[in-house]
Structures are given as structure tokens and as C-alpha cells.
Amino acid sequence: MRHLSLAAAALLLAAPATVIPAWAHHGERHPAPNLMAQAATPDSIQELQRQRRNPDVPPGVQAQRRDAADADAASLDDAAAQLRAAATALRSGRAGQANEFLERAESRLLTRSTVPAQAGQPVQGGPVGHIAAARAALLANDRPKAQAEIEAALTALNRPAPARRARP
């Protein structure tokens, strides 16, 4: 009898833990299954943040590889096109993919010919500076600032972002 009461008590204590999550969105629509699956898998920004917090642990790079494969499939060679793709990805909530496009645009702009006397001077201003600021904003989870920096980089390249369509 005593074993039964201990088992019943354990069951009663465990029951709220299984029922409460179901009540969490009571009265609202249920989240989409793909949204829940997406939230369960870390994106590359979360992987980078985790790596910064604990540099001694080997980084998880699965999401970064996935974002790189998606960027490869886009076949964008122009820095402005990569910046526009980053802006689109960011507006769609894909910060990791936006970061990948930003990294590629930055690399494209840094791969340049220069006179040997200036080869040791880092490029910090202009579009490269805005891209670096956008990447820093993404790591800080400041998506509006990242979006603004991407648009500033496009403007600095003299290729402003296309006008956004008004949402109905």
C-alpha cells in the first residue's frame, strides 16, 4: 500500500509538468509544427554566441554548414546581391543565413587590389564598416540595427535596397 501511495504522489507531482506546457498558449492558436521544429534546432547565430561564451568547448557548426550550403545554392557573386539576400533573409527571420551572406559580401569587398604601401591598412569604413556593424548587431540579437546597417552598406555601394512593399 505504501508503494502505491509513493507512486501516486510521484505521478501527481509529474502531471503538472506535462500539462502546463499545453496550457501555455491556451486561448491562442497553436504554433505551427515547422516553427516549433525550427525553434528546437539552433541557428548559426546561436552557435556563434555559444562559442563566444565558452571558447574551450568545440563549436557546433551544423547550422553554419547548412547556411553556407544555402548561400552556395544561391550562386550570388556580387557583394550588393549578397547584401540584398542578407536583408531578405533577415526580414524572413533567418539570422544565420543573413550572417552567412554578410560574411560573403564582406569577403568579396575585402578581396581587392591595392598598392603595396596600403596593403597592411585594414578597411574599416564605407560598406565594409557597415557590414561589420551589421554582423555585430546580429550577434547581439539587434535585428533592426542589423537591417539598418545592411541598407547603409548598400547605399555606400551606391546600390540602395529596393523599396519595401507595403503589407496589407
Q: Is the dihedral of CA 23, 26, 28, 34 positive or negative?
A: positive
Using the 8-state DSSP alphabet, how is residue 75 labeled? T
pLDDT tens digits for 92-151? 999 999 999 999 999 988 886 677 777 777 677 789 999 999 999 999 999 999 999 999
Q: Which residue has the higher pLDDT, 44 or 5?
A: 44
Residue 82 lies in a domain: yes
Write the single-letter amino acid at 145: K
Q: What is the pTM of this model?
A: 0.61
Query: Domain containing 85: what range?
Result: 44-50+59-112+123-161
Residue 5 lies in a domain: no
Other CB atoms within 10 Å distance of the CB of residue 108 = 18
pLDDT tens digits for 37-93? 444 456 778 877 877 787 776 766 777 788 888 888 888 889 999 999 999 999 999
Residue 18 lies in a domain: no
Domains contained in the chain, number: 1
Using the 8-state DSSP alphabet, how is residue 116 labeled? G
First CA to last CA distance, the chain? 64
CATH code at position 144 = 1.20.120
pLDDT, mean of residues 20-43: 46
Residue 31 lies in a domain: no
